Amino acid sequence: MAQQGATLQKFNNELVKCLEDLKEKRDTLNRAISKEEEMKIDITKKLHKLTEQLHKLNESLAAKVQVRTGQDRTEHNRSWDETDRINQSLVWCGVCGLGPSRL
């Protein structure tokens, strides 16, 4: 009977040690989970801020590209107007008999 009691006590001690090990592993896991949850919150905040910055940058870029396109169009029209003016002058010189050799 004494040997059964000793065996039971040994088994009980091992069971207590296993439970303590499991509790320690659970505590370690809980700390890791808490740390990752904090990281997730931090990253989510940063992502929100970066998303706002990207939105503002896209709006600014679109406005500037639109202005540039308008300037390009204006410059293109100005070039065509100048080309047309030169052509009309050349035609007028031809009509008046002032060809390139007389100019």
How many Å apart are CA 103 and CA 100, to the nearest integer?
Answer: 5
Tokens at 8, concatenated: 């039971």
> What pLDDT does residue 4 have?
86
How many Å apart are CA 29 and CA 49, to the nearest integer?
Answer: 30
> What pLDDT does residue 38 have?
98
- 11 close to 19: Cβ distance less than 8 angstroms: no
In the chain, the percentage of residues whose pLDDT exceeds 70 is: 88
Domain boundaries, the chain: 1-96
Whole-model pTM? 0.56
